[in-house]
């Protein structure tokens, strides 16, 4: 089976253990408020007009790269033909067969050995070695590429660049005529590079919308009690990226009402911060909207018999529509709308945290913290020495990471100092650990 090269910039791939634990805890919270998050997904996301135009172009010209198309569609189309028309047996995806059954499917001893050892027949087709299946996929790809020359549908080229918003699929940036990239995309990618250079970390948004802006955190963030970076500092880095891009003097042209830069000139631009190797990894594929339009015109059920292969529509990874999925706005109105969304998300998160704290605190707290909360639930106030005796943990352990400090730094805090500052007490947000 062939190795696949990455065709998008996945924000999750470079996460630290602390960042992954934070996202895991947040995932636990989101399961407690599915209705509220589902509602936010359906409300058009506010974007400035330049970002909205960029997102619309990515969607309209979206290129599904051949490696991903091959893994998700070409292989299925080929296997469907082999099993339905040529009588090839489809092997089970899970569960084994007895030695006698396997021998019946693989009369050739070499085939049986390779299947048993897992070194071949990994595509799940008895009697068809992986190389044969891959050649069938190669042949189908060549046929599709040849058909594109007859203008039945369009082929395109994409490059993967980091963007500070949306899902990984949004980072597959289409190149107009194979060489022209939207200037605003370049600005956003350079902004991401500025953040990396300055030591900031990006995490996916708490907002569930697939176009939501990512969160940005300082380099030295304590992931047990994270606080997002200063918005003014982040805005300054964006302005710096924009000003730097203003010094670009390479080829540029207007396409569809937007300025586009020649990717080769951008790759050689001395002030570029985006890694050059990303710009060199350009992946060809089909233009999804064009392919699906052809399928729709040529069939009534979304399937076309294409020279012996039954091909289908392709799911659009970034099918977004203005007024339904996003709303272009003037900068001031956009900022206000995004702020209201953020406030709604934080309120929902607080509600979810309260539910988890009251029902399943072990999902969010360390064993040390659970012991502290239990001790304080059973005693109105406790000094540090009393907490040590009640919990069985040393004072040093109580104050280490995963201890009482994080309980006091939560928003809202769960533990506070007594008015005399001689001990600790629970706030009104009390995990019901004493009854567990």
* 407: CATH: 1.10.10.10
Is residue 313 classed as helix, strand or coil in its secondary structure?
coil
Domain boundary among 275, 296, 313: 313
Inside any domain, residue 82: no
Residue reference for tokens 């042949």: 139
- Is residue 309 within 8 Å of 140, Cβ to Cβ? yes
In this structure, are residues 284 and 20 in contact, taking their beta carbons and an 8 Å threshold?
A: no
287 shares a domain with 169: yes
The verdict on residue 389 lying in a domain is yes
Asked if 211 contacts 326 with a C-beta cutoff of 8 angstroms, the reply is: yes
Q: Which of 21, 28, 19 is nearest to 352 (CA)?
A: 28
- In whole angstroms, give the CA distance from residue 306 to residue 312: 10
Q: Which two tokens stand for residue 172?
A: 């597959």
**Is 396 part of a structural domain of the chain?**
yes
pLDDT, residue 436, reads 35
Residues 164/192, Cβ–Cβ less than 8 Å? yes
The answer to the question of residue 388 being in a domain is: yes
Per the CB < 8 A criterion, the answer to whether 213 and 204 are in contact is no
Residues 161 and 302 in one domain: yes
Same domain, 69 and 175: yes
Q: Are residues 386 and 308 in the same domain?
A: no
pLDDT at 6: 61
pLDDT at 428: 59
User: Is 226 a domain residue?
Assistant: yes
Task: Please tell me whether residues 298 and 433 are part of one structural domain.
Answer: no
Note whether residue 88 is domain-resident: no
pLDDT, residue 45, reads 97
- Given a contact cutoff of 8 angstroms between Cβ atoms, the answer to whether 167 and 157 are in contact is no
Nearest Cα to Cα of residue 226 among 16, 15, 22, 13: 22
Nearest-angstrom CA–CA distance, 434 and 436: 6
> Do residues 273 and 190 make contact, with C-beta atoms less than 8 angstroms apart?
yes
Same domain, residue pair 379 and 307: no
Whether residues 386 and 247 share a domain: the answer is no
Alpha helices, H only, 299-403: 331-359, 367-378, 384-391, 395-399
Asked whether 6 and 208 are in contact (CB, 8 A), the reply is no
Q: Look up residue 412 and give its two tokens.
A: 């809202």
At residue 357, the pLDDT reads: 57
Residues 374 and 298 both lie in one domain: no
| Secondary structure of residue 212 in the 3-state scheme | coil
Counting the structural domains of the chain, the total is 2
Q: How much is the pTM?
A: 0.78
Asked whether residue 95 is domain-assigned, the answer is no
Stretches in the chain below the pLDDT threshold 50 = 94-98, 429-436
Bridge partners, 387 (sequence order): none
Contact 194, 240 (CB under 8 A): yes
Note whether 65 and 176 are same-domain residues. Answer: yes
Instruction: Return the closest-CA partner of residue 338 out of 29, 58, 48.
Output: 48
Return the pLDDT at 360: 60
Q: Does 33 fall in a domain?
A: no
178 Ramachandran zone, left/alpha/beta (phi>0; psi -120 to 50): left
Same domain, 149 and 228: yes
**One domain, residues 195 and 291:** yes
Sign of dihedral through CA atoms 269, 273, 275, 280? negative
Residues 309 and 175 in one domain: yes
Q: Domain containing 421: what range? A: 365-436
Q: Which of 297, 313, 329 is the last residue of a domain?
A: 313
């Amino acid at each position: 089976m062939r190795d696949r090269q990455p065709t998008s910039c996945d924000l999750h791939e470079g996460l630290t253990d602390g960042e992954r634990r934070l996202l895991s805890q947040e995932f636990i919270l989101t399961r407690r408020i599915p209705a509220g998050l589902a509602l936010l997904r359906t409300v058009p996301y506010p974007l400035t007009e330049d970002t909205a135009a960029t997102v619309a172009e990515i969607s309209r010209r979206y290129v599904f790269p051949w490696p991903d198309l091959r893994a998700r569609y070409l292989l299925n189309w080929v296997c469907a033909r082999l099993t339905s028309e040529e009588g090839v047996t489809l092997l089970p995806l899970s569960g084994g067969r007895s030695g006698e059954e396997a021998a019946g499917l693989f009369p050739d001893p070499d085939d049986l050995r390779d299947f048993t050892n897992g070194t071949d027949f990994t595509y799940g087709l008895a009697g068809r070695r992986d190389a044969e299946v891959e050649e069938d996929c190669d042949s189908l790809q060549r046929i599709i590429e040849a058909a594109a020359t007859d203008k039945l549908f369009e082929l395109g080229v994409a490059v993967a660049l980091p963007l500070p918003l949306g899902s990984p699929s949004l980072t597959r940036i289409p190149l107009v005529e194979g060489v022209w990239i939207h200037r605003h995309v370049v600005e956003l990618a350079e902004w991401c590079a500025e953040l990396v250079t300055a030591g900031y970390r990006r995490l996916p948004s708490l907002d569930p919308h697939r176009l939501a802006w990512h969160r940005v955190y300082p380099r030295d963030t304590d992931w047990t009690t994270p606080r997002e970076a200063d918005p003014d500092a982040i805005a300054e880095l964006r302005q710096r990226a924009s000003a730097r891009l203003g010094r670009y003097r390479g080829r540029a042209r207007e396409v569809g009402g937007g300025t586009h830069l020649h990717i080769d000139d951008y790759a050689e631009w001395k002030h570029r911060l985006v890694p050059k190797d990303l710009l060199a990894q350009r992946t060809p594929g089909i233009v999804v909207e064009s392919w699906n339009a052809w399928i729709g015109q040529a069939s009534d059920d979304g399937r076309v018999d294409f020279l012996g292969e039954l091909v289908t529509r392709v799911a659009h990874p970034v099918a977004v529509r203005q007024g339904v999925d996003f709303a272009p706005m003037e900068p001031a109105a956009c900022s206000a709308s995004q702020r209201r969304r953020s406030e709604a998300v934080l309120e929902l998160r607080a509600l979810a945290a309260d539910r988890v704290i009251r029902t399943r605190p072990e999902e969010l707290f360390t064993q040390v913290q659970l012991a502290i909360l239990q001790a304080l639930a059973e005693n109105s106030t406790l000094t540090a020495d009393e907490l040590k005796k009640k919990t069985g943990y040393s004072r040093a352990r109580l104050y280490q990471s995963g201890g009482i400090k994080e309980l006091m730094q939560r928003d809202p805090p769960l533990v506070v100092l007594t008015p005399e500052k001689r001990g600790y007490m629970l706030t009104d947000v009390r995990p019901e650990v004493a009854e567990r």
